[in-house]
Chains A and B, each alone.
Chain A
Amino acid sequence: AQTVTQSQPEMSVQEAETVTLSCTYDTSENNYYLFWYKQPPSRQMILVIRQEAYKQQNATENRFSVNFQKAAKSFSLKISDSQLGDTAMYFCAFFSGAGSYQLTFGKGTKLSVIP
């Protein structure tokens, strides 16, 4: 079974600064997909960014980018120019589609952006 570990329960960053959230995972699969989701307080889960394991190029979406290290099974999220609206829980998730269609989530990192 796949596992996803987020080792930083809470983080804070000053507005306009850059922050990196860590995620590691364990799998025996070669083809899979990784996601970062954002869950603002009392609001619904929103997709931030996604990465296919077969692609070496790191995904970027505006201020959000990932550092995907397949051999190390690491998938970190970098948020540049942090904004107050980035305050949320961030969840790393794994999907392979090989025998199971579930997303496996980490426990999340609570990010606070400080004005």
Chain B
Amino acid sequence: DTGVSQNPRHKITKRGQNVTFRCDPISEHNRLYWYRQTLGQGPEFLTYFQNEAQLEKSRLLSDRFSAERPKGSFSTLEIQRTEQGDSAMYLCASSFGPGTVYGDTQYFGPGTRLTVL
């Protein structure tokens, strides 16, 4: 069990460019989540996958954002036409469900810090 990994760890881009982040969940976890965290705030939910199906999306996930999990393993989050307001830490989490005693405990990766200039 190597934990949740995310790449890249840091990304600096110019406004208007597209960026893509990758998340590799814990290997046996079938559920994957994306969150966004701005400075001084708690993480905010963006989207949720069970296997390859995207089952839940937050209203924060504007049409410039798209997420995929093509084979139910790794996931990508793409932001098109980046804006300065997109600058944040993007966190990925994974879990195994359903039906664990402790609910759906989510384990987080180190995050990708995005800076839009």
Q: Which residues of A contact B (CB under 8 A)?
A: 4, 32-33, 35, 37, 43-47, 50, 52, 91, 93, 95, 97, 100-108
Contact = CB atoms under 8 A, between A and B. Distances in A.
A50 B102 contact: yes
B104 A102 contact: no
B43 interface: yes
B69 to A, nearest CB: 14
Contacts of B40: 107-108
Nearest to B111: A44
Interface string B75-117: 0000000000000000101000110011111111111000000
Interface string B20-60: 00000000000101010000111111001000000110100
A45 B43 CA distance: 10
Given A91-B42, A102-B45, A107-B41, A45 B91 contact: yes
Contact of B43 (A46, A95, A100, A105): A105
A35 to B, nearest CB: 7
A44 B58 contact: no
- Do most interface residues of chain B lie in helix, strand or loop, or is the interface mixed? loop
B109 A44 contact: yes
Given A103-B43, A108-B41, 18 more contacts: A33-B105, A37-B108, A44-B111, A45-B91, A45-B108, A47-B105, A50-B102, A50-B103, A52-B101, A93-B42, A101-B56, A102-B45, A102-B48, A102-B58, A103-B33, A103-B93, A107-B41, A108-B42
B104 A105 contact: no
Contact of B42 (A44, A97, A100, A106): A106
A1 to B, nearest CB: 11
Nearest to B95: A101
Nearest to B102: A50
Contacts of B108: 37, 44-46
Contacts of B44: 105
Nearest to A6: B42
Contacts of A35: 105
